[in-house]
Chain A
Amino acid sequence: AQSVTQLDSQVPVFEEAPVELRCNYSSSVSVYLFWYVQYPNQGLQLLLKYLSGSTLVKGINGFEAEFNKSQTSFHLRKPSVHISDTAEYFCAVIPLSGSARQLTFGSGTQLTVLP
């Protein structure tokens, strides 16, 4: 089985400041990794995903994430946030093999961008 840990449940940050949302995972097999964003009263939207290749992946809205296999981390970053980035962010993994093929989510990080 796999698990995802998002260490920060709430991250307040001022507008135009950089932000990092942390994600660590645990899995006995290789995984694909994803970041999703949920705006208020909406479903989740894909921000970015890591499948293979370059460990630095770029997504929508200026976000990027870096896969670190040795640290089993997939932290999400943005160099300068906007008010509109206020949302909940979920890290997720899916194993490449095994019987538990469902996408497993972390508990989420609420990013609040302050003016």
Chain B
Amino acid sequence: GAGVSQSPSNKVTEKGKDVELRCDPISGHTALYWYRQSLGQGLEFLIYFQGNSAPDKSGLPSDRFSAERTGGSVSTLTIQRTQQEDSAVYLCASGAGTDNSPLHFGNGTRLTVT
């Protein structure tokens, strides 16, 4: 497809379980971002990949959160030992990698931790 694809669209998990969220960016986009959107709040930056550079992980809220980007394309956000406060919509976005290029967002993964 032409857009950013995220899977699954919805995920319900039990507290303490690990989850993996997947993002397929637009082909050729070198920049990839993960954001978290909690109910009634804005978008919280999590992590940023740009080409082959070391990722900017400054937004990850704890060491339970990690992300990889394989081959400069698909990215996986992993949350270990999930907690109820992890419940949110996780949004992925990709861009051409220049500062003024707009980001293209996926529809997000709604994570519910019970």
Contacts and interface: CB of A to CB of B under 8 A. Distances in A.
Say which size band chain B's interface belongs to.
Answer: 20 to 34
Nearest to A100: B58
A51 interface: yes
B77 to A, nearest CB: 15
A43 B33 contact: no
Given A43-B105, A43-B106, A102-B33, A49 B42 contact: no
A11 interface: no
Contacts of B107: 41-43
Interface in A83-106: 90, 94, 96, 100-106
A34 B102 contact: yes
B91 interface: yes
A: contact size bracket:
20 to 34
**Interface of A (DSSP majority class):** loop
Interface in B78-111: 91, 93, 99-100, 102-103, 105-108
Contacts of B102: 34, 46, 49
Contacts of B14: none
Interface of B: 4, 33, 35, 40-43, 45, 48, 50, 56, 58-59, 91, 93, 99-100, 102-103, 105-108
